Structure formats: C-alpha cells, structure tokens
Amino acid sequence: MATKKTQPKKPTAKPGARAKAVAKPGRPPSAPGNPPSNPIELPDGMWERIARKAYELWEQRGRRTGHDFEDWLDAETQVMEEMHEARE
C-alpha cells in the first residue's frame, strides 16, 4: 500500500486580521507606483502629489523602514497646507 505524502498546513490568519502590504524592494509602500488596492476618492492628482511628498520625506529621513504611515500622514498634512495657502 502506497503512503500519501502530505504537506504541512499553512498558518491561517485570525479572522479580521489584515494582510501586511509588501513594498517593492528599496521603496516604501507609499512610494509613487505603489497605489493602494482600494483608494479613497481624492481630487485629480492629489494621491500622486501626496505619494511624491511621502517619498521625499522618506528619503529625507534616511529611508527608515516601518515609518511609511507616518511619512504618508505628514505628506498629507503638508500637501493640504500648501493647497490651503494657495487658495488664500
């Protein structure tokens, strides 16, 4: 009788757990060219502007890993301030 080889089961994520985004090597997930899978509605060109600014901040801060969300939020703030100042 032949024995059946089985492969170990892959660990499963807990219900409601979010998968970690994987960035392209050398670039943070917020870098231009890495759009989110389900972006929110933003005015034309806004996402790209924020992404460029987040990438600039990431480079200015020494390309630190694990701070992409902080870079993105800071970029949003700066871009929104620039837009607000331009309207005045």
Residue 65 lies inside a defined structural domain of this protein: yes
Q: What range does the domain containing 63 cover?
A: 46-87
What is this structure's pTM?
0.53
* Alpha carbons 69 and 67: distance in angstroms, whole number: 6
Residue 17 lies inside a defined structural domain of this protein: no
Neighbouring CB atoms inside 10 A of 75's CB total 21
* Alpha carbons 58 and 68: distance in angstroms, whole number: 7
Which pLDDT tens digit goes with each residue over 7-62? 656 555 555 555 555 454 555 555 556 666 665 677 788 999 999 999 999 999 99
Residue 51 lies inside a defined structural domain of this protein: yes
Query: What angle (nearest 5°) sits at the alpha carbon of residue 10, between those of residues 28 and 66?
Result: 20
Residue 55 lies inside a defined structural domain of this protein: yes
Residue 6 lies inside a defined structural domain of this protein: no
Q: How many domains does the chain have?
A: 1
Residue 7 lies inside a defined structural domain of this protein: no
Are the beta carbons of 31 and 54 closer than 8 angstroms? yes
